[in-house]
Amino acid sequence: MKAPALAHHHHLLSATRIPRTNLRPRTATPTSTIRMSLQENAPSLAVVGVTGAVGQEFLSVLSDRGFPYRSIKMLASKRSAGKHLTFEDNDYVIEELTADSFDGIDIALFSAGGSISKQFGPIAVDRGSIVVDNSSAFRMDENVPLVIPEVNPDAMKHIKLGSGKGALIANPNCSTIICLMAATPLHRCAKVVRMVVSTYQAASGAGAAAMEELELQTREVLEGKQPTCKIFKQQYAFNLFSHNAPVLPNGYNEEEMKLVKETRKIWNDMNVKVTATCIRVPVMRAHAESVNLQFENPLDEDKARDILKNAPGVVVIDERPSNNFPTPLEVSNKDDVAVGRIRRDVSQDGNFGLDIFVCGDQIRKGAALNAIQIAEMLL
Ligand SMILES: NC(=O)c1ccc[n+]([C@@H]2O[C@H](COP(=O)([O-])OP(=O)(O)OC[C@H]3O[C@@H](n4cnc5c(N)ncnc54)[C@H](OP(=O)(O)O)[C@@H]3O)[C@@H](O)[C@H]2O)c1
């Protein structure tokens, strides 16, 4: 059975697991354009975890950017095998991920969790595929580049499509990507010596099922019912809590330590001091982060604002008189990371400190878009 076609959609799962919010058309998407990304001399793709929040966004981003492909294999678990999905007016049957899934695949986009990446990433590489992995499985592996295209594209310049050699490239954690999109242009100018990050993270960061849980709980609470807690062990609607990632012996949770370690690797600076507190807030989609920066060289707030206005992939929303600053809603389904609240840190002498507030869609720039920008650099 073919999935019903929505006027603005290039793809729609016949399964109903994905909340509607994830399927809402982006206003920026031109609806009249006929996409011609299917090309015989283009790479063959595989999307691993295609039914998930990130997997669905991979398809949207591929389509929006007209990414060229010869074929696409849609892969998920046994649970989804046999279901149909429509992508760019073609009908696809979702296949179960197996060791044989990667024969003849040039680029494999992985977003099915760390254990799936650990198991099947190396198999795909053996078959000659270039794997762009969204999980944390290989991020800190010193042989695997950890790439934000606007920040450290050179880290993957030795990896070439069509060489017959497979390779792994890791997509950083969503909070790291969003933070570094804003912090890196300032770092290049004045060198960050210390960074303090506090996050306000959305449900979408925990996948499609977490988004459904937030919606369901919100209804339940408004109806005076006991909220259903399946994904998170405590009430999420009308509440907030410390990020659900496991807490480590040093008291930090894994999400916080990802910000610490990944920043050092991406900036290739083992001395940069980073600390973080990561919080889950009842926002459907898009993370917000308060970032305090301490610099080696002076940088005043006007210059910082100019630098950020000219930074690729960044927009500045910083209107003090009207109290208009970035919000998660405003950046949802958008490519750019928004920065505002750009101000001198009054706790530091001179112009050696800045506070900024950053919002970014972490399914898009924090995951699928960043991965597809990586894949574009291979073309
Ligand atoms: N959400 C984010 O913002 C975000 C950001 C960066 C990175 N990531 C990472 O991306 C990955 C997926 O996240 P998500 O948010 O998209 O999760 P999700 O919505 O829960 O989707 C998980 C996907 O993995 C598939 N899967 C699960 N078990 C599988 C198996 N045994 N074999 C093959 N496929 C399997 C699922 O397929 P079925 O539908 O068949 O179960 C589904 O397509 C995770 O590693 C996550 O850390 C997520």
pLDDT in tens, 303-350: 999 999 999 999 999 999 999 999 999 999 999 999 999 999 999 999
Beta carbon of 204 within 6 Å of any ligand 1 atom = yes
pLDDT tens sequence across 280-296: 999 999 999 999 999 99
Q: What is the Å distance from ligand 1's center to 141 Cα?
A: 21
Q: What per-residue confidence (pLDDT) applies to 36?
A: 57
Q: Domain for residue 162, yes or no? A: no
Beta carbon of 362 within 6 Å of any ligand 1 atom = yes
For the annotated catalytic residues, the residue numbers are: 174, 287
Residue from 16, 111, 369 to probe ligand 1 pocket by mutation (most atoms less than 8 Å from CB): 111
Structure tokens at 153: 């594209």
CATH number, residue 124: 3.40.50.720
Residue nearest to atom 14 of ligand 1 (CA): 207
Beta carbon of 363 within 6 Å of any ligand 1 atom = yes
If asked whether residues 228 and 339 sit together in one domain, one would say yes
Structural domain of residue 182, as residue ranges? 175-362
Q: What is the Å distance from ligand 1's center to 354 Cα?
A: 36
Task: State residue 342 phi and psi, 5-degree precision.
Answer: -75, 110
Q: Domain for residue 154, yes or no? A: no
If asked whether residues 82 and 216 sit together in one domain, one would say no
Beta carbon of 210 within 6 Å of any ligand 1 atom = no
Beta carbon of 19 within 6 Å of any ligand 1 atom = no
DSSP, collapsed to helix, strand or coil, labels residue 63 as helix
For residues 24 and 91, which has the higher predicted lDDT (pLDDT)? 91
Domain edge (last residue) among 137, 164, 186: 137
Q: What per-residue confidence (pLDDT) applies to 37?
A: 76
If asked whether residues 199 and 306 sit together in one domain, one would say yes
**Beta pairing, strands 337-344 & 273-280:** unpaired
Q: Domain for residue 258, yes or no? A: yes
Q: What is the Å distance from ligand 1's center to 266 Cα?
A: 24
Q: Domain for residue 170, yes or no? A: no
Residue 88 and residue 72 in contact, taking contact as beta carbons nearer than 8 Å: no
How much is the pTM? 0.91
The DSSP letter of residue 366 is: I
Domain edge (last residue) among 77, 108, 137: 137
pLDDT tens sequence across 183-236: 999 999 999 999 999 999 999 999 999 999 999 999 999 999 999 999 999 999
Number of domains within the chain: 2
If asked whether residues 196 and 55 sit together in one domain, one would say no
Closest among 366, 367, 377 to 180, alpha carbons compared: 366
If asked whether residues 118 and 223 sit together in one domain, one would say no
Q: What per-residue confidence (pLDDT) applies to 35?
A: 53
If asked whether residues 227 and 300 sit together in one domain, one would say yes
DSSP, collapsed to helix, strand or coil, labels residue 189 as helix
If asked whether residues 133 and 179 sit together in one domain, one would say no
CATH number, residue 200: 3.30.360.10
Task: State residue 353 phi and psi, 5-degree precision.
Answer: -145, 145
How many other CB atoms sit within 10 Å of the CB of residue 141?
12
Residue 35 and residue 10 in contact, taking contact as beta carbons nearer than 8 Å: yes
Instruction: List strands edge to edge, sheet with 273-280.
Output: 241-242, 273-280, 192-201, 287-295, 353-360, 337-344, 314-316
Closest among 226, 233, 232, 238 to 209, alpha carbons compared: 232
Task: State residue 201 phi and psi, 5-degree precision.
Answer: -100, 140
Q: Domain for residue 142, yes or no? A: no
What mean pLDDT comes out for the span 142-162? 97
Task: State residue 57 phi and psi, 5-degree precision.
Answer: -70, -30
Indicate the Cα dihedral angle 355, 182, 285, 111, nearest 10°.
-140
Q: What per-residue confidence (pLDDT) applies to 20?
A: 32
pLDDT tier at 26, thresholds 50, 70, 90:
very low
